[in-house]
Amino acid sequence: MAACALPLASTPASASSAADDGACALAVEAPSEALVSLPFRTIDGRIYLEAMVNGAGPYVFALDTGASGVGRADASLVEELTLPPDGEDETSDGVSSAVVDRVRIASLALGALERHDVSLIARDYRSRMSAESAFSGILGREFFADGLLAIDFSAERLNFYRSREMRASQAGAMTYERAFRVPVTLGDLETTGNVDTGANVTLVLPGAVYEQVEGTSLKPAGEGSLTNTRIESSKARLAGPVQIGSLRLEDVPVRVAADYPEVLVGAHALQGQVLLIDQRHKTLALCPPAAP
């Protein structure tokens, strides 16, 4: 079953969209303009917020830009709210696929941002997580599809605007075709990387990519856990520099997996940055936090 489509709201003429304004100007917090302005907490780099489901809650949800669709529901939430089944779906973690159940909910709300009559993948996430990092559900990327999402990791605050937009013509904006794969430079190697706030790592590299860059010798790191798969991984340090938009990293800890299909930029790489995503214009930017 395809994820439900979200109507895209029109952008007011007063929106911050001038081509000569840099994308990072949009990172300046303006709660009075925001439809949603909420604090969040991080655990091992991941973002945790409180959301309402069918008017009940609040429930702890993780924000995962690597998750397609509107979101996910943990099995515990399905049981507690007796969420009705809504068929099955197939999900892929880039290595393997699995058939999963779906449930339907009347409403999913993060502050004033609310989605109605949505279908969510339902899985047992809690049994694989510590009590501290457990959640009742996941907010996927389509939950934020019709506005500008600003995640300030340094201030631990999320803002969502419909009155601001980030166009490809603005300095600092990176464009993507497939969410959220943007240009990444690893030393002298130019490639693309998937920006994934749900991954509690700095970088994951396929083995073939790591062979092309300068780094330390690989050491065994045990199995890594993907949504449907466990894969053997190694650890190393990449000399760098690693460049993703305005973000520059050196001496970077990396996980290397022969079977992993792409470069992944995880949550630990994003700490201290402001992540801007505007899915209306397929743009993404990484910006330094505003000076106090």
pLDDT in tens, 136-183: 999 999 999 999 999 999 999 999 999 999 999 999 999 999 999 999
- Which domains are present in the chain? 37-145 (2.40.70.10), 174-270 (2.40.70.10)
d(CA 124, CA 106): 21
DSSP of 120-174: EEEE--GGGS-TTT--SEEE-GGGGTTSEEEEETTTTEEEEESSB---TTSTT-E
Whole-structure pTM value: 0.89
| Token pair of 152 as six digits | 């300030």
pLDDT in tens, 2-19: 333 333 333 333 333 333
Residue 290 has pLDDT above 90, yes or no: no
Q: What is the pLDDT of residue 181?
A: 98
